[in-house]
Amino acid sequence: MKTIGILAPSGGINKNKLDIAVNNLKNLGYKIKLSKNIYDTNRYLAGNDEDKIEELHKFFEDSEIDMIMCARGGYGAIRLINKIDYDLIKNNPKPFIGFSDVTALLLMIYKKTDMVTYHGPMACSDFGDLTPPPDPLLKGEGMMFSWCNLLKALEEEKLEFEGKKIYKGGKAQGIIWGGNLATVVSLCGIDFIPNEDFIFFAEDLNEPVYKIDRMFQQLINIEEFRDKCKAIVFGDFLDTDREDWLEEYFEELAFRLDIPVVSGFKITHNKEKITIPIGKKSSLHDNILVIG
């Protein structure tokens, strides 16, 4: 039986949600190991940075843990990136899974170690909202969709996804790289952009269109990003202020960058999400994204 280690690198944890998530994951046939600081709080954070780093290192070194899943996002992961022993992680590789604020860790671990990381579901965020019935995952369609897509990303050599709207068609190749847009932008100022060409994927939540514009402009202003970004695939930008402006902006972005741009992928804060293995070779042909 495989073991999932659950860490809290970002915001504070709701114990009821985590209890439900643990029960759901156990019902799928997994053992669960929680970090010792999982319920710690420090203002809006899940405890202090030093304890988080210690547990992160322990989980990578723990041979009983087969994969590491973050509990939730929020804020806090970026506080850790300059304190991590990336050599320790490189010498003890295993799947590391999360999204939203955890994007900072996904991208920096890939940058520093070349280890594929997984932009996918988290314990409290995706498996902790339903009071468990006798067979909880089968009755939670969103959870089951996300779980099955996580397993595909972990186990299958090739993934294929279809977008819904093409702003600019064409072909592109590179690694798949990106995540939560606001968190990606928070890394500006350090060495975080991949060394190879990439297809950039992005999603976000509760951001007005002018901020989405501004965040992309920050990235585009970086010559290395501009040169290596060969296509953009958009997930959901949930609860934005003006959907019509967002559509106009995506069209403008495709025109300005003159690269393929496609939207409609289930890369999202919603319950039904696909898992993206950051760092894997990928290709885009119009609205078809192939990873692996």
Q: What is the pLDDT of residues 105-161, one digit of tens each?
A: 999 999 999 999 999 999 999 999 765 544 545 455 678 899 999 999 999 999 999
Show me where the domains of the chain are located.
Answer: 3-155, 159-291
The whole-number average pLDDT for the span 235-257 is 97
Q: Is 169 a residue whose pLDDT tops 60? A: yes
Per-residue confidence (pLDDT) for residue 140, from 0 to 100: 55
The whole-number average pLDDT for the span 189-200 is 98
User: Could you give the CA distance from residue 292 to residue 280 in angstroms, rounded to a whole number?
Assistant: 6
Q: What is the dihedral of CA 286, 109, 185, 259, to 10 degrees?
A: -20
Per-residue confidence (pLDDT) for residue 263, from 0 to 100: 98
Per-residue confidence (pLDDT) for residue 143, from 0 to 100: 85
The whole-number average pLDDT for the span 179-199 is 98
The whole-number average pLDDT for the span 173-190 is 98
In sequence order, what are the residues at sequence separation of 6 or more whose Cβ sits closer than 8 angstroms to the Cβ of residue 236?
203, 266, 267, 268, 269, 270
User: Could you give the CA distance from residue 248 to residue 232 in angstroms, rounded to a whole number?
Assistant: 15
Per-residue confidence (pLDDT) for residue 134, from 0 to 100: 43
CATH code of the domain made up of 3-155: 3.40.50.10740
User: Could you give the CA distance from residue 253 to residue 272 in angstroms, rounded to a whole number?
Assistant: 27
Could you tell me the pLDDT band of residue 258, with boundaries at 50, 70 and 90?
A: very high
**Antiparallel, parallel or unpaired: β 229-238 and 198-205:** parallel
What mean pLDDT is reported for the chain?
95
Per-residue confidence (pLDDT) for residue 69, from 0 to 100: 98
Q: Is 17 a residue whose pLDDT tops 90? A: yes
How many of the other CB atoms lie within 10 Å of CB of 154?
Answer: 16
SS3 of residue 200 by DSSP: strand
User: Could you give the CA distance from residue 240 to residue 100 in angstroms, rounded to a whole number?
Assistant: 16
The whole-number average pLDDT for the span 84-101 is 98
User: Could you give the CA distance from residue 281 to residue 283 in angstroms, rounded to a whole number?
Assistant: 7
Per-residue confidence (pLDDT) for residue 208, from 0 to 100: 98
Phi, psi of 121 (to 5 degrees): -65, 155
SS3 of residue 256 by DSSP: helix
C-alpha triplet 62, 65, 272: angle, nearest 5°: 140
The whole-number average pLDDT for the span 245-269 is 97
User: Could you give the CA distance from residue 289 to residue 173 in angstroms, rounded to a whole number?
Assistant: 10
Please give the model's pTM, rounded to 2 decimal places: 0.96
Per-residue confidence (pLDDT) for residue 285, from 0 to 100: 98
User: Could you give the CA distance from residue 237 to residue 242 in angstroms, rounded to a whole number?
Assistant: 11
Q: 209-220 and 243-257 are packed helices; what angle lies between their axes, rounded to 10 degrees?
A: 20
CATH code of the domain made up of 159-291: 3.50.30.60
Per-residue confidence (pLDDT) for residue 1, from 0 to 100: 87
User: Could you give the CA distance from residue 221 to residue 236 in angstroms, rounded to a whole number?
Assistant: 23
Per-residue confidence (pLDDT) for residue 129, from 0 to 100: 78
* H-helix or E-strand spanning residue 213: helix 209-220
The whole-number average pLDDT for the span 44-53 is 96
CB 274 within 8 A of CB 263: no
Q: Is 25 a residue whose pLDDT tops 70? A: yes
The whole-number average pLDDT for the span 204-224 is 98
